[in-house]
Structure 1
Amino acid sequence: MTDADAWDPVQYLRFGDERARPFVDLLARVGSVDPGVVVDLGCGEGALTAGLAQRWPRARVTGIDSSAEMLAAAAVHAVPGRVDFVAGDVREWRPAGPVDVLVTNAVLHWVPGHEELLGRWAQQLAPGGWLALQVPGNHAAPTHRLLAELCTDERLAGAAPPPRPVLDPAGYLAVLEAAGLRAEAWETTYLHVLSGPDPALGWVRSTVLRPVLARLDDGEAAELTAAYAAALRLAYPPRADGTTVLPFRRVFAVGRRDG
């Protein structure tokens, strides 16, 4: 892993409040009262995972993530016997036993073919267990479309934003129902009011832009970033007060196993 390819918890948390809101809205639809085993797949820097232990004081909460940088940041939220963080790939994760609440937040858009994973995870729920997911649904937004248009170098073919990495709500509803869960799904478009220089660029630096820059040398990365920033300024112009509105669509689904 190169330095450019590594996750940067500080940059990611620059918009921590905005990134936390969908997690809160997702968990509001999870009706588990007193779970014993709670897992957060793709836990990132761990603050939201720790909040699960506050909601369910008697649960054992485990966060799983593949990023060493994110897990290092998450370590400050660990509580022996209550909250722990473990290195792992969500594609390969297997629980030691049935799970009461399984959460995956803003992760599955990085995992092609994740519908199969959801079906497998649903089978690993305890009776009465819950599966909750949230994914960005902004693949058609200028943030992604403009970057894809700039990724003309063949080295960037696998790093450019894919045209459709996630399903719509109806698609996730069908996947969870086919797995035997009682499910609901919905979407929300948040209007994030951002400030500072090039705020749209700042937003994507820790997400969709990160794997692209990882494949370029410093000069090439600077050139692409400058062109991308200029295009984003046109797509997301500042308002009279200097702030910029960034619409962000997200897709949610929750399912409960009978029991």
Structure 2
Amino acid sequence: MADWNAQQYKKFEKERTQPSIDLIHRIEIKPESILDIGCGPGNSTHQLKIHFPNAHILGVDQSSDMLAKAKASYADLSFRKANIPKDLESLDSYDLIFANACLHWIPDHSVLLPKLIDQLNDNGMLAVQMPMVQTAIFYRCLHEVLKRQKWNALNRIHNFHNVSPEKTYDILVPISHVSMWETTYYHVLENHEAIIEWYKGSGLRPYLAQLEEKKKAEFILDLLGILKKEIPKQRDGSVLLKMPRFFFMAKKI
């Protein structure tokens, strides 16, 4: 898959950062060491530093472009290139492992989550937020486009690995104390084209990467048509992007 584009991702930085802030404010422990997995351009790492100013914090990501942006934006913070879970053994143990909008890209949560818990210090905590791609309206529209014969080849792409909250609980409860919740965000965007711009920085990447420029434009036009049918304009012309997000915290037993 092509590298992430930090500039594209940061077009909606405020909206993307809010869930990480909400998760941070639910953390009751006072960690001395924090690992921020999938730190991206450093926005979540920066928020962790604001909330836990005395903690040692390391942000890791496998995207060179994201890490370059993070280091340029937050020169006072530490960042490192790492693939999770492959590179976990090369990292230290931590009081808090934080993962904002990244674990749904990583397969096999029945193996991944216990590995993350094992990487915690005694009484450490895993704090996670993931978009619920299973129920998000955008992905429902995307799947409608993929049903069309001309885009059928894109159905082989399977980049999201969310499991249900119930399955997540069953994985975690033998090894941690678990709390879970869901929040639905309504992001006010200028128009339907802005929804496309949002997802060009995340969920559309793997699909667009498979297409030539002419086909990309055609694919986006088809997707835009469905989005306009499914998401009505507001009276002021804006659109509301409804995005459900799943949160959980797991404190190591």
The TM-score with structure 2 as length reference comes to 0.90
Q: Counterpart of 2:99 in 1: which secondary structure?
A: strand
More helix by share: 2
**Quick check: 1:147–1:160 contact (8 Å CA) kept in 2?**
no
For residues 81-104 of structure 1, the C-alpha deviation after alignment (integer angstroms, 9 at most, x for no partner) is xx2111111121325432111001
Cα distance change on mapping 1:161 and 1:142 into 2, 3 Å:
farther
**Do structure 1's residue 43 and structure 2's residue 39 form an aligned pair?**
yes
User: Given the alignment of the two structures, is residue 234 of structure 1 paired with residue 232 of structure 2, yes or no?
Assistant: no
1:88 aligns with 2:88: no
* Superposition deviation, residue 124 in structure 1: 1.6
Q: Does the CA contact (< 8 Å) of 1:65 and 1:89 recur in 2?
A: yes
Q: CA deviation at 1:52?
A: 1.3
Higher mean alpha-carbon deviation, 141-150 vs 120-129, is at 141-150
Contact kept, 8 Å, 2:62 with 2:82, in 1: the verdict is: yes
Residues 190 and 249, structure 1, Cα contact 8 Å, conserved in 2: yes
Q: Which residue of 2 aligns with 1:224?
A: 219
Within 5 A, what are the aligned runs for 1:187-226? Answer: 187-196=182-191, 198-226=193-221
CA offset digits 1:33-80 (Å, max 9, x no partner): 2x222100100000220221222222111111011110110012132x
* Contact 1:169–1:252, Cα closer than 8 Å, also in 2: no
Determine the structure 1 residue equivalent to 2:156: 158
Match of 1:25 in 2: 22
Q: In structure 1, how many angstroms separate the alpha carbons of the residues matched to 2:40 and 2:16? A: 11
After the TM superposition, which of the residue ranges 241-250 and 190-199 deviates more from structure 2?
190-199
| Percent pairwise identity | 31
Instruction: Report deviation, 1:155.
Output: 4.1
1:99 is the counterpart of 2:97: no
Pairwise CA RMSD: 1.9
Alignment of 1:112 with 2:110, yes or no, is: no
Offset, 1:117: 0.8
Q: Is the 8 A contact 1:198 1:233 kept in 2?
A: no
- Give the Cα separation in 2 of the matches to 1:100 and 1:147: 39
Note if contact 1:170-1:185 (Cα within 8 Å) is conserved in structure 2.
no
Structure 1 segments of 4+ aligned residues over 6 angstroms from their partners: none
Unaligned regions of 5+ residues in structure 1, if any?
none
Q: Partners of 1:41 and 1:161 in 2: how far apart? A: 17
Q: Is the 8 A contact 1:144 1:161 kept in 2?
A: no
Q: Which runs of 5+ in 2 are unaligned?
A: none
Matched positions, count: 248
* Superposed CA offset, 1:99-143 (max 9, x none): 111001111111121231111110121112111111111323331
Rounded to whole Å, the distance in 1 between the matches of 2:91 and 2:235 is: 55
